[in-house]
Amino acid sequence: MWPSLDRWASLRNDLDSLLEMPFWGASGRQSQLFSGWTPALDLYQNNDNIVAVVELPGMRKEDIELSLHDGTLTISGERKEEASQENGNATRTERSTGKFRRSITLPTQVDVNKITASYKDGILTVTLPKAEEAKPRQIQINLN
Amino acid sequence: MNTLVRENRSSNGDRPTPEQFVAPAATVLENNDGYTLEVEMPGVNKESLEMWVENNELTILGRRSMPVIEGTRLHQESRPENFRRSFELDPSIDAGKISAKIEQGVVTLTLPKAERVKPRKIAVA
């Protein structure tokens, strides 16, 4: 049986968004490869660290998961509907609930044992110290 | 009549606002006692949140204090603008009794209905 045209169209969109991905492979916010919601993610780099900053308003700390596998950082979790939503009728729903997942291929090797994360005002900050061998090195040149 | 929030997009009035804002995502719930309004403002805390009611219109303004990271930004999806959004209040709301809290970047407002409009059970004598 032929796949429906819709299926082809969505496959094409998936391919398009893959091709548009930046070099470190962060999945685009509109990516259709994953059906959950996609929080905004910023990525920074300095001499010592790679830092990911993710907007995750209204989460519980324990509902956020971090993992690192083969140089890819994955931030995932689930935002459960508030208890209040059960005793009221939603007349407008713009907040996303349910699962989310973001994966980023890190531009350098990091020291897995020294990764730290903080969650404040609905913003998750993950600090990944670069592995010693990945740090830029200053070379002393003696000029005679 | 039943909607708490008819969003008012031209809420700047006569005052020109040079600053650009982003409208935060909001969810509105209604029950017999009133409405609950949840507004997502990541990066906003109690000190940087302002709310007021004027001409039966509720305005929420949140200034973001994002973590300052040294170095080069490799990728950005967040918006740098502060948050602002206005909601027209349903006439059933008792504007004097609105309360609010902010937790992990989500503002939760409780907007009780005035006693006179609440559904009332009538006992048979």
Return mean pLDDT, chain B. Answer: 87
Q: How confident is the model at residue B2 (pLDDT cuts 50, 70, 90)?
A: very low
Q: Is residue B46 part of a domain?
A: yes
Number of separate domains in chain B: 1
SS percent in chain A: helix, strand, coil, step 5: 20, 40, 40
Could you tell me which CATH class the domain A5-85+97-132 is placed in? mainly beta
pLDDT at A143: 78
A119, closest residue in chain B (CA to CA): B104
* Chain B residues touching A24 at Cβ < 8 A: 74-75
Q: How far apart are CA B108 and CA B36, in angstroms?
A: 7
- Please indicate whether residue A113 or residue A31 has the higher confidence score (pLDDT): A113
Q: What is the ipTM of this complex?
A: 0.79
pLDDT given for residue A33 in this prediction: 53
Read off the pLDDT of residues A65-100 as tens digits, 9 standing for 90 and up: 999 999 999 999 998 776 555 667 888 888 888 899
- Distance, in Å, from the CA atom of B33 to the CA atom of A88, rounded to the nearest integer, reads 10
Residue of chain B nearest A42, judged by CA positions: B76
Residue A113: phi, psi to the nearest 5?
-75, -10
- Give domain limits for chain A: 5-85+97-132
Where does the pLDDT of residue B118 fall: very low under 50, low under 70, confident under 90, or very high at 90 and above? Answer: confident
Q: How confident is the model at residue B31 (pLDDT cuts 50, 70, 90)?
A: confident
- Using the beta-carbon criterion (under 8 Å), do B36 and A123 form an inter-chain contact? no
Query: Any idea what the CATH number is for the domain that residue B105 is in?
Result: 2.60.40.790
B70, A46 in Cβ contact below 8 A? yes
Q: Residue B110 CB: number of other CB atoms within 10 A?
A: 15
Whether B121 maps to a domain, the answer reads: no
Predicted pLDDT at A101: 92
The answer to whether A60 touches A119, Cβ cutoff 8 Å, is: no
What residues in B contact A121, CB-CB < 8 Å? 42-45, 65, 104-105
Question: What is the DSSP secondary-structure string of B32-57?
Answer: TTEEEEEEE-TT--GGGEEEEEETTE
Please report whether residue B24 resides in a domain.
yes
- Single pTM value for the model: 0.76
Show the domain range for B83: 6-68+76-116
Note whether A84 contacts B71, CB cutoff 8 Å.
Answer: no
Is B36 domain-assigned? Answer: yes
Asked whether residue B109 is assigned to any structural domain, the reply reads yes
Residue B47 above 60 pLDDT?
Answer: yes
Of B4, B66, B104, the CB nearest to A58: B104
Separation in Å, CA of A3 to nearest CA in chain B:
34
